[in-house]
Amino acid sequence: MVAACAALFVVPALANAAPTPVAAWYMYGTTLSGLQSNAYTHGCYFAQHHPGGNRTMLLDFGAARKLDANTWGAIDFSNTTFSNPSILAALKSGADGHHNCYTGVGSTVVLYGNTNYHMSNSGMSTSDAWYAGYYQSQRSQDLYNYQVSKGYNMQSSDAAGDMEPAWDGQLITKQLVNGDTSQGWALYYDYGSADGCPQSGSSGSCSNGWTVGDVGYVSYHGLAVPLPEIYIIAQADQWTVIRRWWNANNGNSYYFWGTTGTPGFSLTPQQGWNELNARNSGLVFSELVCISGSNC
């Protein structure tokens, strides 16, 4: 797997029971200053509540977008479009907040997250999506250079994508992974779903023309690693099928980097991790991201 070539690549530890959840956030901000302020607050909160070990701080900036002929970025959860330079400024603010509130516990990988939501409908081509992934990885590397320049020794950076079959086609979504891998810096954490995929067996069709193999590609090809949403029992079953398909076709190499949860579903974040681990014993690493901020 190419992921071992990513800078600062560290294989997480395996675990026998759900780790302590760490907060993650959907990013809101109608102005750059507002986006930066929110990121700073989130970084501070994360540092103050760090449970120890090496954990990921996910900031989801929304749907990947091409803004003009030479500019990529995302449309955030307040429906405001931000360019990658603005997103980098917010990521730096998140790093600043983490450093200024750091309590001496653990280390943190700051993740620039986006999604595959309606990229095609926004006018993006597969080539545009490739560049979105490429420049997302580049901004992650830029963030790391900033962290080093500021002496933030307990931080590093990577990229992430909430890639969901129901949101867009498999061809354009794969290009996010391909672009990131081609740039070469950032692991690409897939904290997405396996919409419509079978809950048993080792192959089959999923939603929106995807197959089990397509979900395997966006979660484990190149620099992609899986951190899947496990909100309900069915998702634990679906992702087990993904893992079986990958191992049957690519060798027994598929590990889960952990899981993503959120309150308000039938499974708590911890229960989601435990359900996936029960079906894939010894193949789930000790990360548990909870997308609900301080409500986690």
Q: Convert the pLDDT of each residue in 42-67 to its tens digit.
A: 999 999 999 999 999 999 999 999 99
Q: Is residue 61 within 8 Å of residue 74, measured between CB atoms?
A: yes
Provide mean pLDDT across the span 284-288. 96
Residue 20 structure tokens: 């302590």
Q: Is residue 257 within 8 Å of residue 229, measured between CB atoms?
A: no
pTM of the model: 0.95
Provide mean pLDDT across the span 92-105. 98
Count other C-beta atoms under 10 Å from residue 281's C-beta.
Answer: 10
3-state DSSP assignment of residue 231: coil
Q: What distance lies between CA 29 and its chain's CA centroid?
A: 20
| Average predicted confidence (pLDDT) for the chain | 95
The predicted-structure confidence for 236-285, as pLDDT tens digits, reads as follows: 999 999 999 999 999 889 999 999 999 999 999 999 999 999 999 999 99
The predicted-structure confidence for 171-211, as pLDDT tens digits, reads as follows: 999 999 999 999 999 999 999 999 999 999 999 999 999 99
pLDDT grade for 9, boundaries at 50, 70 and 90: low
3-state DSSP assignment of residue 43: helix
Which amino acid is it at 53?
G
CA distance 26 to 119: 18
CA distance 219 to 221: 6
Q: Is residue 216 within 8 Å of residue 258, measured between CB atoms?
A: no
Provide mean pLDDT across the span 112-140. 98
Count other C-beta atoms under 10 Å from residue 126's C-beta.
Answer: 15
pLDDT grade for 10, boundaries at 50, 70 and 90: low
pLDDT grade for 3, boundaries at 50, 70 and 90: very low
Place of tokens 């909100």: 231
Residue 97 structure tokens: 């907040």
Most distant CA pair in the chain, distance:
50
For strands 71-75 and 81-83, give the pairing: antiparallel
Provide mean pLDDT across the span 64-87. 97
pLDDT at 7 over 80: no
pLDDT grade for 232, boundaries at 50, 70 and 90: very high
Residue 196: its pLDDT value, please? 98
The predicted-structure confidence for 213-230, as pLDDT tens digits, reads as follows: 999 999 999 999 999 999
Q: Is residue 69 within 8 Å of residue 18, measured between CB atoms?
A: no
> H or E segment at 134?
helix 126-149
Domains of the chain: 2-295 (3.20.20)
Give me the count of residues in the chain.
296
Name the CA dihedral angle for 280, 285, 291, 292, rounded to a multiple of 10 degrees: 100
pLDDT at 22 over 50: yes
Count other C-beta atoms under 10 Å from residue 153's C-beta.
Answer: 11
pLDDT at 6 over 60: no
Q: Is residue 31 within 8 Å of residue 82, measured between CB atoms?
A: no
Q: Which of 223, 123, 224, 228 is nearest to 165 (CA)?
A: 228
Residue 13: its pLDDT value, please? 73
Residue 1: its pLDDT value, please? 41
